[in-house]
Structure 1
Amino acid sequence: MLLLLFAPMYGILAAVVSKPIIDMGWDAGIAIFGLRPMDLIGVGLPAVLLIWMASSAAGRPRPMQFLGIWCAYLLCSLLGALMMAVGGDMVGSLSFMFRILNGFVGFYMFQTYFADRDRFKKLLLAMLIGGLVPMLMGFYESVTGDLFRVRQGVGDQIRIAGLYHNSIAYRYFAYITLTGIGLYWVYFTPKSQLKKWLLAAYAIIALVVLYRVYSKAGFASLALALLLGSIAARRILPVLVLGVVLVTVNSFMAGEVFDEVSTTFLKETSVLSGEEDTDRLFSGRVGGWKSQLDYWSDGTLENKLFGGRGGGRDAKGGGHNDYIRALLQTGSIGLAAYILLLAVLGFRIFQRFLSDQNWLNTVAAILYCMWIIDSIGLTPAVYTHFQWYVWGFVGLAMRGVKGLGDDKRKNEVVVPRRVRDLKRSPE
């Protein structure tokens, strides 16, 4: 926190590096003023950066793009938080509001402090360093079968979770690590062959961890990343090579890879074949969504419009659906603001991606798709580090990073052929 107060850029880097380790202490029983270390960083970082944003021009980007739609979203969230507090859930109210503030601060955080080449490189290195402990721990579990915690997947699948509360942390940290590796490779390609091999090995370790989480969202997000990445690279060969490698590995492992992926989607295929009820879709989440919607419909008119159904189970949940969570916590008006925010940002992200498929715009498009996928079966808006990561890179892509060379094509003056021919012709 001291670094954030006096040197916010280095404080953010320290948070990126330390968050994977801090999150391991979720059940350690250590608390300061009732806040666990992971809660302290989730409250302290947005609070300090908001002070910097309000008090110093150096603490905010100029201009602050999309500030109006973000403020509308924050206002609806604040109304929902006040409704929770009035209902007697003061702790849930504060927890919810700071989670939302992490998204707002995250959107402006990277573009404020890492919008030039040297600082951007420091951010990527922090992501690579921060991923070391969770990725090596997950790889150890995957290779040895010696699990720190057992988390049941679909059927007889056992998901790795390490020292974290659940497997979602592994998946998010794997995303962050792979993003760091990919962007470091394309923008700061190391000349040393040893460094290239180390980055490649690191990527393989992260992919193994991501695979062993056995997540439908993880597999879908990885497929989308490959698709958008191949479009940006304008090359299909890397995807074909990866496909050949995947088939080879699957054959070497006696079909285990494809079998496990198939098992991950077992409930969905069972529903489609008529073997199970639709309530069993998405690991039974559909049934939970119906229950949560019934809970919302039983509320008062004020609750339906402005939310505040934050007592206990709804402070983080909503039946594992971010839109139902928003409906319960911020009401139908807050849900509309959330959807509008996603729509406006999504339109701008893909507008930029289609006009200029540089790697930063590509990453922003991939992360936005990841968010949408996760919002169906999870509640990404309550995970602080995932919000820093997704909205941070989305905001950074919209502003751009000076010195990366992504703007070279934009600065070229395109001279029509006719004009060129006139210039060449003798007078």
Structure 2
Amino acid sequence: MIPHSSTFGRPRTHVERSLLAASVLAIVLAVYCGVVFASGAPRSAWILPVALVMAGALTVVAITRFTLFLVIVLAIRSSLDAAKLASIDATVDAGGGQPTASSLFDPSSMLAVLFICAGLAWLVVQGRRPAELRPHPAVPRAALAFFGACLLSLLGSRAPAVSVGEVLRVLAFLIMIFVVERLVSDDPTRRGPLLGAVFASGVVPVLVTFYQVVTGNGLVDLDGLMRPVGTFWHPNSLGGFCYMIMIMGVAMLWHVRGRARLGLVLLVAGLGTALVATAARGAWIAALIGVLVVGVLQDRRVIYAALVAVGGVLVAVPSVLQRFSDLSQNYTAGGYEANSLVWRFNHWIEATSLLPENPITGTGLGTARLILYKEVHNDYVRALVESGIVGLLAYLGLLAALFIAARQALRATSPVPGVRSPDPSRGIAVGFTGCVTAFAVSALTDNIMTAVVVMWYLAVFAGLALCVGVPGKETQ
């Protein structure tokens, strides 16, 4: 008889016991969820227990192996919005979801709080570094100024509880930048797993999007179109996620080999297809601009391939042209806006009418959608209205600092003339430049700052770029 403490005649290791316990727990949770879901119980009855157990497990991982914790967080974050406790109709109508008491127990919210606590604790434990090993000061200073402006907006907030939640979102974004930078700066070998986790996060959203398009299940009716949302709660959020990961993926194609390149090609193709399916015009434009930036900085063949791909989409998917055809008409015969762009212009004017209430610190983060019952659809206007002139200047300063970080990374990885060898650092520098450019463009018409998952992955790329941009720092 095989002893209880052995596996095929040898003692079990600590890892094997942990894997066995995790497997048993996963089976129990799967059975529980299946029974509860089949019984017709509310979503919270099966989502909350799983979320609490996972939060406990991740807490242990964060304490014992922080790098593994971050890899897991990045790999699963893109799939967690599908587990929100709010109804999908209410969330889509609100352009991303109104803050509610139940949203505090969403798996994504619980993960954000856990990451903030773990990330801050980890950074404190690491302590200060010598000045020569620190990143370019533009981003830390701009991040501190931006966070300060967000805190200042709480003073005149018309919904303090909502604004606190938004401030925590911003804090998580900023912590992610510095956690990634410190991790990779201390040990460059961590860069691969972090990038791998980011790219792996795109698999489930792409597969779910394909399922929705093929079967028609899970589509939402917006602008008279049935549009997929993937694992998110709005097609625009799916579009933002797709272009962010896709641009970095295109940049890294030149710097990976073998199966990694094949997997990246398939992922980029899947993300591009999902992006087209979203019918998110702003995301389309941002993606094209970001890819063109990559082509200019890395290889002109990317530009030619992008133009060929756009031509192929226009021919194969006539609905893409139809999405732009209504822009030629401003108003219908009944006096209503004929397209979402005209609607946005009118809405921006309506939103800025709130500014005189508190022009210095604004109405408070997250309050515009509560007052106007709809999202602002412009992050620059949103920053002005919700955090005042101080907040807008700080937001523009942070954007400028991210571009400075991109420039530093590009300079630190300038290719040697005549030498075309793989250089992941160069791919990161080029990809981040394309991503931050696309982000700045997308912010003109979308609610990217409220798309937490998109901001987290942008923060990862920013942290990697900061590490690349440290003069004399070895990142190979």
TM-score range, shorter chain: 0.7 to 0.9
1:102-113 → structure 2 map (5 Å cutoff):
102-113=172-183
Q: Partners of 1:110 and 1:304 in 2: how far apart?
A: 35
Tell me if the contact between 2:291 and 2:434 (Cα under 8 Å) persists in the aligned partners.
Answer: no
- The answer to whether residue 466 in structure 2 is matched with residue 398 in structure 1 is yes
Summarize deviations over 1:75-103 as a string: whole Å, max 9, x none: 1111112432xx5x342122111011122
1:349–1:365: 8 Å Cα contact kept in structure 2? yes
1:311 & 1:407 partners in 2: Cα distance?
Answer: 38
Match of 1:289 in 2: 348
Select which of 122, 128, 149 maps to 2:199: 128
Q: Name the counterpart of 1:24.
A: 82
Any unmatched runs of 5+ in structure 1?
Answer: 409-427
> Once the two structures are superposed, what CA deviation does each residue of 1:177-210 show, in whole Å capped at 9, x if it has no partner?
43564465433312x5xx6544433322221101
Distance 1:246 1:309 in 2: 40
- Check whether the contact 2:359–2:389 (CA below 8 A) recurs between aligned residues: yes
Q: What is the aligned partner in structure 2 of residue 342 from structure 1? A: 399
Aligned to 2:437: 369
Q: Report what 2:16 is aligned to.
A: none
Structure 2 length as normaliser, TM-score?
Answer: 0.71
2:73 corresponds to 1:15: yes
Deviations 1:42-88 (A, max 9, x none): 2221232122223322899942533222211111111112432xx5x
Which residue of 1 is the match for residue 295 of structure 2? 230
SS in 2 for 1:306: coil
Asked whether the equivalents of residues 292 and 318 of structure 1 are also in contact (C-alpha less than 8 Å), the reply is: no
Matching residue within 357, 360, 382 for 2:428:
360
SS of the residue 2:153 aligns to:
helix
> Match for residue 168 of structure 2?
98
The counterpart of 1:44, out of the listed 92, 97, 114, is 114
Gap runs ≥5 in structure 2: 1-57, 88-99, 416-425
Aligned to 2:148: 75
> Is residue 306–residue 331 contact of structure 1 (8 Å, CA) maintained in 2?
yes
2:361 — aligned with what?
306
8 Å Cα contact 1:151/1:167 also seen in 2: no
For residues 102 and 375 of structure 2, the distance between their equivalents in structure 1, rounded to whole angstroms, comes to: 29
Give distance in 2, aligned partners of 1:311 and 1:178. Answer: 29
Q: Shift in Å at residue 130 of structure 1?
A: 1.9
- 1:89-123 Cα shifts (integer Å, max 9, x gaps): 34212211101112211221221223455311111
Code of the aligned partner of 1:340: G
After superposition, residues 163-174 of structure 1 pair within 5 angstroms as 163-174=231-242
Show CA shifts across 1:304-334 (max 9, x none). Answer: 1112345754469661111222122221112
SS across alignment from 2:353 = helix
TM-aligned CA deviation for residue 172 of structure 1: 3.4
Alignment length, in residue pairs? 386
Aligned counterparts of 1:186 and 1:117: Cα–Cα separation in 2:
19
1:279-324 per-position Cα deviation (integer Å, ceiling 9, x unaligned) = 9562611111111111222x1xxx2111234575446966111122
Relative distance call for 1:34 and 1:105 in structure 2 (3 A) is closer
Match of 2:228 among 160, 166, 184: 160
Alpha-carbon distance change, 82 to 393 in structure 1, aligned in 2, over 3 angstroms? same
What secondary structure does 1:282 align onto?
Answer: helix
Give the deviation of 1:398 after TM superposition.
Answer: 2.7
Query: In 2, are the aligned partners of 1:82 and 1:93 still within 8 Å (CA)?
Result: no
Structure 1 pair 114–92 and aligned structure 2 pair: CA distance change class (3 A): same
